[in-house]
Amino acid sequence: MRATAVSLCGAAALVTGLVVAVPSAAGTDTRAVPRTAHTPHPLTWKKCATKDHPKLQCASLKVPLDHDHPHGEQITLALSRIAHTAKRYQGPLLVNPGGPGGSGLTMAGFVAKTLPAKVAAGYDVIGFEPRGVGRSKPALTCRPGHFKPVRPATVPHTAALEKANLNRARAFAAACGKKYADVLPFIDTVSAVKDMDAIRAALGAHKINYFGYSYGTYLGAVYGKLFPDRVRRMALDSVVDPHNVWYDANLTQDHAFDSRHKAFMAWVARHHKQYRLGKDPAKIEARWYAMRAALAKKPAGKKVGAAELEDTFMPGAYFNGYWPFLAEAFSSYARTKDTDLLVEAYENFGAVDAAGDNSYSVYTSVGCRDAAWPRDWEQWRRDNWRTHAKAPFMTWNNAWYNAPCAFWPVRSLHHPDVTNTSLPPVLLFQATDDAATPYEGAITMHRKLRGSSLVVEQGGGNHGITLSGNACLDRHLAAYLTDGKVPHSGGEVDAVCKPLPDPKPKGAARAGAGAATGDAAGSGAELHRLLGFRG
């Protein structure tokens, strides 16, 4: 689960239903779950229509920075809404795109537009920017330009490369601590969950419905643990492994990303006539790594070095609709050393703007606070070299992305056990070959949420699979949101859907940015823009 655009991947120990968060190697944090939230001011909704979402409304909500001190310092959450229109009102449906650090305002418009009209009409679809994100205040940006090209190559083959990357990680952590010392102790999943309950109260709802992707599945599971009596329905798509928060989850991700990259190489091989890179996936993959080595020595357009190349191709592991564009850029460079398409691909997929700086700042702030990370760099070195030996595509890139947690200025908390026997039926969706949230995590969550149902996209590899063109998956989601129906098989998997076919070349890459962000990338493109490339 990774923050948007660089976008893939809890904070408490549970004791008999009450949460007490304990910082590792520190004294007890006495923040307890508020069973009765303070009463927020009513929300004032104003028009904030966009071309794509003409009925979108926005509001803001004050919440405590520290929910244990509700009358202390306040922060502001930004909210959005598509109001219900049906006579049968089913309550608010909170939606979240993941991250942590994902922007949620546009998500409300997308979900309301993409669900069947009769289903969406029954809900107030509510988007929200979690604390620290986007239009919420304060919005965190620890170190602007942290991902400015050209960065040191990620694979630390030399002591100098390792030192350079370590210095970047230390500098980022130090910048966060210097700028946000008073805020960082409260940027975590449990605090965000308490914000969600404040949103519920401000909406005047006794219970909420919830729909989350990626990290949003973990956010939902923690909400369900803390406030099980306040959940009406909950759908979770591309499910985080709640047992591996967060250091081990990233090492598991690395193997899954490598497998997905190999699937892309096999697709390129099947389309040799279009890309002329050969018919042997292993040899094509070798050419990709040769490209990475060459760019480490001479970056394309003075922008795309080895690290930026990895950032550019990671989105292909999230969404295969991007494969034609990435394959064309790869082919152009590998065969003729033409860098134009490669630079264009980087600008579409890998470059980080101000929103990306914000997203990454929240990603690290939540992840580093949520759970314990090794503080001994030797363990990182040992674990990542061992993983890199089997999964060289993204292991070290992922390690440096998370490395600020080794130097984080705020002590980590213990993440909650989300095991739950008190929720209404929860509906889970998972692709078997998802790289960002590997399949085993969905099985774990399914077991932990008693009475939940798991719908599997067998052979699918995309991250975020509902509302992206698969009618079988969407029928299950629509039925659940309409009347709470879930499939039950009595086995480990409750329903199976076939994946959408892989894309065809069709010259889509020549559409430039349109291929990266528009119709040329397929019907799931809009969703995957919202989910981000590392979140």
Integer-rounded Cα Rg, in Å, for the chain is 22
Burial annotation 79-109 (CB, 10 A radius, 16+ → b, else e)? bbbbebeeeeebbbbbbbbbbbbbbbbbbbb
- What percentage of the chain carries pLDDT values higher than 70? 89
- The answer, yes or no, to whether residue 9 has pLDDT greater than 80, is no
Output the pLDDT for position 532.
Answer: 80
- The answer, yes or no, to whether residue 17 has pLDDT greater than 80, is no
- Range of lowest pLDDT (29-38, 194-203, 310-319, 447-456): 29-38
Output the pLDDT for position 109.
Answer: 97
Cβ proximity of 478 and 518 under 8 Å = no
Is residue 524 very low, low, confident or very high in pLDDT (cuts 50, 70, 90)? confident
Q: What is the Cα–Cα distance from 221 to 498, expressed in whole angstroms?
A: 26
- Range of lowest pLDDT (431-435, 480-484, 526-530): 526-530
Q: What is the Cα–Cα distance from 259 to 129, expressed in whole angstroms?
A: 33
Q: What is the Cα–Cα distance from 221 to 196, expressed in whole angstroms?
A: 12
Q: What is the Cα–Cα distance from 222 to 9, expressed in whole angstroms?
A: 16
Cβ proximity of 420 and 448 under 8 Å = yes
Cβ proximity of 398 and 250 under 8 Å = yes
Cβ proximity of 454 and 494 under 8 Å = yes
pLDDT tens string 469-485: 999 999 999 999 999 99
60: CB partners within 8 A, 6+ apart:
76, 77, 78, 79
DSSP codes joined into one string, 39-67? -PPPP--EE---SS-TT-EEEEEEEESST
pLDDT tens string 30-45: 344 445 456 777 899 9
Return the closest-CA partner of residue 199 out of 98, 76, 69.
76
pLDDT, mean over the chain: 91
- The answer, yes or no, to whether residue 26 has pLDDT greater than 60, is no
Query: Tokens 């990303």, residue?
Result: 257
Q: What is the Cα–Cα distance from 204 to 197, expressed in whole angstroms?
A: 11
pTM of the model: 0.92
pLDDT tens string 70-114: 999 999 999 999 999 999 999 999 999 999 999 999 999 999 999
Output the pLDDT for position 490.
Answer: 86
In the predicted model, what is the mean pLDDT of residues 221-229?
98
Catalytic site positions: 214, 434, 463
Is residue 523 very low, low, confident or very high in pLDDT (cuts 50, 70, 90)? low
- The answer, yes or no, to whether residue 454 has pLDDT greater than 90, is yes
